[in-house]
Amino acid sequence: MSESKPKPVLAHISGVVFRIDAPVGAHVKATEPVITIESMKMEMPVEAPAAGRVSELRVEQGQFVNEGEIVALIEG
Model confidence pLDDT, tens digit, residues 16-69 = 999 999 999 999 999 999 999 999 999 999 999 999 999 999 999 999 999 999
Q: What is the spatial distance between Cα 16 and Cα 36, in angstroms, rounded to a whole number?
A: 9
CB 35 within 8 A of CB 20: yes
pLDDT at position 2 over 70? no
CB-hemisphere CA count at 13 Å for 12? 12
What is the CATH number assigned to the segment(s) 7-75? 2.40.50.100
